[in-house]
Amino acid sequence: MSVLIFADQFQGKIKKAAFEAVQYGAKVAQQAGTTATAIVLGEADNAELAALGNYGAQKVLQVADARLNEIDSSVGAKVIVAAAEAENAQVIILSHNFDGRAIAPRVAARLQAGLVTGAISLPDTANGFTVKKTVFSGKAFANVNITSARKVITVMPNTFPLEKTDATATVEAFQAPVSDADFKVKATSVETVSGEIPLTEAETIVSGGRGLKGPENWGLVEDLAKALGAATACSRPVADSGWRPHHEHVGQTGLTVRPNLYIAIGISGAIQHLAGVNGSKVIVVINKDPEAPFFKAADYGIVGDAFEVVPRLTEAVKKLQ
């Protein structure tokens, strides 16, 4: 028996969310008195692979096949299932990131393994195998018992802080049972928003709403974000009006983010917006209306005009550093 973790890479770099999944998987393995093996699909350099050991993987399986650099969920699932069989893995862990959400359900259905997506706790094995996940878009949690022998879990990103150790992993090549005919989904282009931090991985986010009046005022948000090393986000009407790109929209119908710090500027705090950000550890709200609902969900608040407060805040942040 063992625990198998899918460690997701992008252009040769292991994603932060993948380290989090490995660390989670290593803890599950420890609980069960077994070992944790990570699997990496596609080409990645050796230092990256060995670094998985820093987060608890004893062994890393690598499928250094260029065809796997981009993910086709069906091929990804096939390889992971083959590795699970080879390693006799009872528990399979992935990140609840984009690739994890594409592959995990396939792995689960293929193995007839119960699946919990977006786990925010380690399994409680006192009475079954119960994992806590967010439901109702962050407004509640459910404790879900996996009743099948095999189990698949996706781990909510930015939930388990990384604890790096000096341990290293042994890296082995894994022969994937795939042929060209298995590749049905072909990536024709990959566009990255260059230089920016992916919102779902960001530890600090500065977000703007309709209170900023127009796209010409976004320098305010960007300057503060830059001073903090933060990513930028926005409310839905802001993206819908084309003031900001769609991929910055957070909330019920946009991205769910869980940063350490979320600073909301000129956002009223509608329940659909909160649904995407209520997992943030600390929320700061800057709004000129003392009655704005967002203050109820905030840890720190400033009632004031964003156009006056935010530049001052940016200066104060710069001074700290």
Partner 1 sequence: MKILVCISKTPDTTAKIAFTDNNTKFSEAGVQFIINPYDEWYALVRALELKESLGATVHLVTVGGADTEPVIRKALALGGDEAFRINADSQDSYYIASQIAAHARQQGYDLVFTGKETIDYNGSAIGGMVAELLELPFVSIAAKFELNGTTATINREIEGGEEIVQVELPVVVSCQKGMAEARIPNMRGIMAARTKPLTVVEPVAVEPLTSIVSFELPPAKAGVKMISPDNVEELVKLLHEEAKVI
Point out which residues bind ligand FAD (CB under 6 A): 209-211, 235-238, 251-254, 266-268, 270, 272-273, 276, 287-289, 292, 305-307
C-alpha torsion sign, points 78, 80, 86, 91:
negative
Number of residue whose CB is nearest ligand FAD:
251
> Which one of partner 1, ligand FAD, none interacts with residue 313, CB within 5 to 8 A by kind?
partner 1
Using CA atoms, how far apart are residues 103 and 182, in angstroms rounded to an integer? 15
Is position 210 annotated in a ligand binding site? Answer: yes
Would you state the structure tokens that stand for residue 122, as one six-digit string?
Answer: 């380690």
Residue 235 is labelled as binding a ligand: yes
Instruction: Among 192, 216, 242, 291, indicate the residue that binds partner 1 (CB under 8 A).
Output: 192
CA distance 102 to 122: 22
197 known ligand binder: no
Residue (86 or 270) nearer to partner 1, CB: 270
Q: Which of residues 19-78 bind partner 1 (CB under 8 A)?
A: 70, 72-74, 77
Q: What's the CA gap between 154 and 156, in Å, rounded?
A: 7
Using alpha carbons only, give the angle 81, 84, 88 rounded to the nearest 5 degrees.
145
Sequence-distant (6+) residues with CB within 8 A of 33 are: none
Among 80, 197, 220, 264, binds partner 1 (CB under 8 A): 197
Q: Which helix (H) or strand (E) holds 285?
A: strand 282-287
Q: Is 144 left (phi over 0), alpha (psi -120 to 50) or beta?
A: beta
Binds 136: which of partner 1, ligand FAD, none (CB < 5-8 Å by kind): partner 1
313 binds partner 1 (CB under 8 A): yes
130 binds partner 1 per the rule CB under 8 A: yes
58 labelled binding-site residue: no
Q: Would you say 272 is a known binding-site residue?
A: yes
Q: Is 83 exposed, middle or buried (0-12, 13-18, 19+ CB in 10 A)?
A: buried
Q: Nearest distance from residue 292's CB to ligand FAD, in Å?
A: 4
Residue closer to ligand FAD by CB (options 10, 294) is 294
**Any contact of residue 13 with partner 1 (CB under 8 A)?**
no
Residue 91's Cβ-side half-sphere holds a number of Cα atoms within 13 Å equal to 31
d(CA 111, CA 51): 29
**Residue 223 binds partner 1, judged by CB under 8 A:** no
- Total residues contacting partner 1 by CB under 8 A comes to 100
Among 50, 105, 217, 218, binds partner 1 (CB under 8 A): 105
With beta carbons less than 8 A apart as the criterion, state whether 96 and 257 touch.
no
Q: Which of 28, 25, 22, 26 shows the shortest CA–CA distance to 9?
A: 22
62 is annotated as contributing to ligand binding: no
Q: Which does 103 bind (CB under 5 to 8 A by kind): ligand FAD, partner 1, none?
A: partner 1
317 binds partner 1 (CB under 8 A): yes
- CA angle 229/57/279 to nearest 5° reads 40
Q: Is 121 in the site for partner 1 (CB under 8 A)?
A: no
Answer yes or no whether residue 90 interacts with partner 1 by CB under 8 A: no
Tokens for 309, please give them.
């407060």
Exactly one of 163, 173, 180, 184 binds partner 1 (CB under 8 A); which one?
Answer: 184
Residue 12 counted as an annotated binding residue:
no
Q: List binding-site positions for FAD.
A: 210, 235-236, 266-273, 287
Annotated binding site: 210, 235-236, 266-273, 287
